[in-house]
Amino acid sequence: MRGAVLFLLVFALLPFLPLGVWRAYLLDAGVFMLLYTALALSWDLVARTGQLSLAHGAFFGLGAYGVGLLVPHVGTLPALVLGSLLAGCFALLLGSVTLRLHGLYFAIASLAFSEVLRTLALKLPFTGGPIGLAVPPAFGGGVPLAPYYLAFAVLAVAVGLSLWAERGPFRLAQAACRQSEPVARVLGVRVVRVKLLSLLLGSLVAGLAGGVYAMKALFINPYEAFSLGRAVEALVIPIFGGLYTTLGPLLGGVVLVGLEQVLRLWIQEGYLVVYGAILILVILFLPRGLLGLLGRRRG
Amino acid sequence: MELFLQTLINGLLMAGVYALVATGLALSLGVVGIVNFAHGEFLMVGAYLSYLLYAAQGVDPLLSLGLAFLAAFLVGALAYWGLIRPVLRAPELNQMLLTFGLSILLQNLALLLFGADTRVVAPPYQAATLAIGPFFLGAVPLGAFFLSLSLLLALYLFLTRAPLGLAMRAVAQNRLAPGLLGIEAERVYLLAFGLAAALAGVAGVMLSVMLYASPTVGFLFTLKSFAIVALAGLGNLRGVIPAALVLALAEALVSTYVPGGGGLVEAVFFLVLFLALVGRAWRWG
C-alpha cells in the first residue's frame, strides 16, 4: 500500500523535477511505462482469480481502435470511456461463455480471441485495414503533457482498483477462486461472478490504457494494436515483479519497460525472446517474483 | 456441384494433418495433464529441419520425416524433463504460463535465427497432381493425408495393444492406481510428451512442403489444434478425427464460397472453438 502510493507520487512529480535535457525523453518514455504498468496491473487483477488471460493485448487494442474511431466525433474523454466500455463488452461476452468451464478453456479462448481480432481488424471495412488508422492527439493537441497525465490517471485507476481488490471480502473471494474452485463454492463464493467481475474490471483498465496509447502514438495498425507481444508484456511484468500484489506489477513495470527501451536498440525483432526466457526462469526458480526475492510476504 | 465436391476433397485432405497435430496435443493434455501452448513450436522445429536439410544438402523431405520424428521427440522429451516435470504439481496457471513462455521463446528464437520470411521446400514432385475425372488431387496433400492416417492408426494400435501404450492409457485414467501396479508415471509422461512432439514434428515436415516454414507457422496450428481438441472433448483421442474434419471442411467451404474469404479462413477456427465452448457451457452450466 505505502509502496504503491510512493510509486504514484514519483510519477506525479516527474514533470516538475529539474531533469534538464533528460526531461523530454523521460516524460515520453514515462507515458509508455505508465500505460504498460497499468496494463500489467489489470492482468494481475484477473490472474488473482486463477485465470490466465492471454487477451489483454486484445482489450488494449480494442480500446485503441475504439478511441481512434470515436475521438473525431465525440471528443477525448468520452471516447476514452467508450473505448474502454467496448473492451469491457467483449470481455463479458468472452467471459460469460468460458469462465463457467475449466480454467484452461478461458486461457485458450482468450488467446484465440486476440488472434481473431487482428484478422478482423485487417479485414473489416471501417478499420483502415492493414494500413491502419490515424488518431488525432488528445484534446486537439493543445496540452503538450496531456498524454502523460492521462496515462498517469489510468495507472492511478488501476492502482486504486487493485488496492480495493486487495482488501476486504473481495480479496478472499478471489483467493478462494484461485486456490480451489470447489472449496470456494462450498464457502458460498459466487465463483463465476467473481471471475467475471475481475475480468470486466481488468478489461476496462486495459481498454483505457489502449485508448491513451492510441492518442500518444497517433497512429495504430492491427499488427501493433493487437500484437501478441502486448499480451506477453502484460503477463511477464506481474510475474517478474510478484504475482497477486499491487507493488509487484509496479516494480516489474518500471524494471522491464526500462529494460525494453535499452533492448530495442540491440534487437529490433525478436526481443520477445528475452520475455520468454524471463517467463520460464521466473516460473521455475522465482515463483514469487522480485517481491519474493525481497522477502516480503503478502497475498 | 463439381466446385462443391472439389472443396470437400480439399478439406478432407487437410483434415489428416490437422488430426495428426491435434492428436499430439490431446495426448499431452490427456496423459500428462499439461496445456501445452508450445505444441505448435515442435511442428515449427520439424518444418525448419526439413527446410535446412533440403536447402543445405538437398535431402528429400520424405527422408526428413524420420529425422524430424526423432528430433522432435528429443526436443519434446528434453522440454518435459527440464521444464514440465518441475511444475507438474504447481498451480495450473504456472503450468500454462511456462508452456506459453516456451512458445514465445522458441518462436522468437526462430525469428532471430531465420528471419520472418516464409521458407518453402520445393522438391520436384511438389506441384504434381492426379486428375481423377473432373477433380484434381495434389500428390503432396494426398501423400500427407495417407501418412497422417497411417501414423494415427499406428498410434491407435500402440495404445490398444502394446504394454507401454496400455500403461499410457492407465496413467491418463488414474494418477495413483498405475503406480500400485508398478508403472512409473514419470517415464510414461516423458514418453507421451515426446510422442506428442514427434507427431507434430512429422506434421511440420509435411507442412514445409504443403505450406511453408516460418516462425509463426506452429502458433496457428496450436490454436487450431486447441479448437479441435475443445470440440472433441478433453483427452478424447477418438473424437479428434471427426473434429479435425469439421474444422478442415469449414475452412475449405469458407475459402471457396465467402467472397474475400482468403483472410477470413484464419478466423474460422475461432468460430468452431467458440461454438464448442458455448455448447459445453450450456450443457454443464
Cα angle vertex B254, ends B250, B256, to 5°? 120
Lookup: cell for A128: 483502415
Query: Could you tell me if B192 and B23 are in contact, meaning their C-beta atoms sit under 8 angstroms apart?
Result: no
Which of A43, A52, A271 should one mutate to test binding to chain B, selecting the residue with the greatest count of B CBs within 10 A?
A52
The sign of the dihedral angle between the CA atoms of A13, A15, A21, A24 is positive
DSSP state string for A64-117: HHHHHHHHHHH-HHHHHHHHHHHHHHHHHHHHHHHTTS-HHHHHHHHHHHHHHH
Which of B102, B255, B272, B277 should one mutate to test binding to chain A, selecting the residue with the greatest count of A CBs within 10 A?
B277
User: Within 10 A of B122 (CB to CB), how many other CB atoms are there?
Assistant: 12
Instruction: Produce one character per residue of B236-275: b if its CB has 16 or more CB atoms within 10 Å, e if not.
Output: ebebbbebbbbbbbbbbbbbbeeeebeebbbbbbbbbbbe
For residue A238, give the nearest of A287, A170, A175 by alpha carbon. Answer: A287
Query: Could you tell me if A195 and A49 are in contact, meaning their C-beta atoms sit under 8 angstroms apart?
Result: yes
Cβ pair A235:B97 closer than 8 A = yes
Segments of chain B with pLDDT less than 70: 261-262, 284-285
- Tracing cell 508452456 back to the chain, one arrives at B99
CA-to-CA distance for A203 and A85, rounded, in angstroms? 9
Across the A/B interface, how many CB contacts are shorter than 8 Å?
Answer: 129
Helical (H) or strand (E) element with A133: strand A133-134
Lookup: cell for A114: 486476440
Residue B80, chain A, CB below 8 Å: the answer is no
CA-to-CA distance for A275 and A239, rounded, in angstroms? 11
* Residues of chain B contacting residue A269, judged by C-beta atoms under 8 Å apart: 111-112, 116
Where is average pLDDT lowest: A104-118, A261-275, B226-240?
Answer: A261-275
Query: Could you tell me if B80 and B32 are in contact, meaning their C-beta atoms sit under 8 angstroms apart?
Result: yes
What band does A298 get if pLDDT is binned at 50, 70 and 90? very low
Q: How far is CA A265 from CA A62, A225, A261, A274, in A?
A: 28, 21, 7, 14
Question: B176 CB contacts (<8 Å, ≥6 apart)?
Answer: none
Helical (H) or strand (E) element with B51: helix B39-57
pLDDT of res. B134: 84
CA-to-CA distance for B145 and B134, rounded, in angstroms? 20
pLDDT of res. B284: 53
Strand pairing category for B135-138 and B129-132? antiparallel
pLDDT digits (tens, 9 = 90+) for B99-133: 999 999 999 999 999 998 999 998 888 888 888 88
User: Within 10 A of B187 (CB to CB), how many other CB atoms are there?
Assistant: 12
CA-to-CA distance for A131 and A126, rounded, in angstroms? 12
CA-to-CA distance for A143 and B194, rounded, in angstroms? 58
Question: Is residue B130 classed as helix, strand or coil in its secondary structure?
Answer: strand
Cβ pair A108:B226 closer than 8 A = yes
Q: Nearest 5°: phi and psi at A187? A: -75, -5
A295: DSSP letter: T
pLDDT of res. A18: 86
Cβ pair A112:B101 closer than 8 A = no
CA-to-CA distance for A175 and A169, rounded, in angstroms? 10
pLDDT of res. B285: 43
Lookup: cell for B23: 492428436
pLDDT at residue A252 tops 60: yes
Query: Could you tell me if B55 and B64 are in contact, meaning their C-beta atoms sit under 8 angstroms apart?
Result: no
pLDDT digits (tens, 9 = 90+) for B27-55: 999 999 999 999 999 999 999 999 999 99
Lookup: cell for A75: 471528443
CA-to-CA distance for A5 and A11, rounded, in angstroms? 10
Q: Which amino acid is at B32?
A: V
Q: What is the CATH number of the domain that holds B218?
A: 1.10.3470
Cβ pair B277:A239 closer than 8 A = no
Mean pLDDT of chain A: 91
Strand runs labelled E in B107-151: 129-132, 135-138
Write down the ipTM of this complex. 0.92
Residue B285, chain A, CB below 8 Å: the answer is yes
B119: DSSP letter: B
Domains present along chain A, CATH in parentheses: 2-293 (1.10.3470)
What is the total count of domains within chain B?
Answer: 1
* Residues of chain B contacting residue A280, judged by C-beta atoms under 8 Å apart: 83, 98, 101-102, 105
CA-to-CA distance for A163 and A44, rounded, in angstroms? 12
Which of A45, A263, A273 should one mutate to test binding to chain B, selecting the residue with the greatest count of B CBs within 10 A?
A273
Residue of A101, A232, A275 with shortest CB distance to B280: A101
For residue B251, give the nearest of B18, B2, B61, B66 by alpha carbon. Answer: B18
Query: Could you tell me if A30 and A257 are in contact, meaning their C-beta atoms sit under 8 angstroms apart?
Result: no
Residue B106, chain A, CB below 8 Å: the answer is yes
pLDDT of res. B261: 65
pLDDT of res. A275: 92
Structural domain boundaries, residue B131 = 2-284
What band does A19 get if pLDDT is binned at 50, 70 and 90? confident
